[in-house]
């Protein structure tokens, strides 16, 4: 028998499944647990880091819809900013190369460093295969200090716009 399968029948009642569990988290800042960080290859056979994050709370500590975010951080020169951003948020050095061993060791360091706190900004983007469907994505990784500053900046921008001014172009 294949691993994970049993020889007994366990019926699943899909009528009892709460569809709201599949709702997208709102755009914004969240505290997350790093559940998985592993080397992988992309469909184009490029080295990458597979990241799975579990949303725990909104970054301000308030309740948030729990869910998971999936991110693939590609290890190419063009996408180096994503690796650098993740590394900066975790206060660890980025991998020196895209070799499996180097990325594996980086992931071990990332999992250890994430215990001190990791935050993300969640954005929405259209699904590649079905543009009418929106998907949640990791817009950026933050440490605690960076997320506090980013939230304050967003709040001041929102306040300025609510007062009729523009935070970008003021007179």
pLDDT digits (tens, 9 = 90+) for 30-64: 999 999 999 999 999 999 999 999 999 988 888 88
Within 8 A by CB and 6+ apart from 45, the residues are none
If pLDDT is split at 50, 70 and 90, which confidence band does 171 have? Answer: very low
Residues facing 38 on adjacent strands: 50
Give the global pTM.
0.77
In a domain, 169, yes or no: no
- Work out the percent of the chain whose per-residue pLDDT is above 90: 54
* 3-state class (DSSP) for residue 128: coil
In a domain, 44, yes or no: yes
For residues 49 and 41, is the Cβ–Cβ distance under 8 A?
A: no
Q: How far apart are CA 90 and CA 72, in angstroms?
A: 16
- Work out the percent of the chain whose per-residue pLDDT is above 70: 86
In a domain, 6, yes or no: no
Question: Which DSSP symbol is given to 63?
Answer: -
Domain span including residue 120: 24-162
In a domain, 73, yes or no: yes
């Amino acid at each position: 028998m294949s691993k994970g399968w049993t020889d007994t029948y366990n019926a699943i009642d899909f009528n009892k499944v709460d569809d709201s569990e599949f709702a997208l988290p709102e755009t914004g800042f969240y505290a997350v647990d790093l559940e998985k960080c592993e080397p992988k290859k992309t469909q184009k056979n490029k080295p990458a880091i597979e990241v799975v994050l579990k949303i725990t709370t909104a970054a301000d500590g308030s309740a948030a819809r729990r869910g998971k975010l999936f991110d693939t951080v590609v290890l190419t020169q063009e996408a180096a900013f994503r690796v650098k951003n993740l590394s900066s948020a975790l206060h660890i050095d980025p991998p020196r190369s895209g070799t499996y061993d180097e990325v594996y060791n980086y992931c071990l360091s990332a999992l250890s460093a994430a215990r001190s706190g990791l935050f993300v900004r969640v954005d929405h983007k259209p699904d590649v295969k079905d543009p009418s469907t929106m998907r949640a994505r990791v817009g950026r990784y933050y440490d605690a200090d960076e997320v506090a500053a980013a939230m304050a900046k967003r709040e001041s921008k929102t306040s300025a716009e609510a007062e009729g001014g523009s935070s970008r172009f003021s007179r």
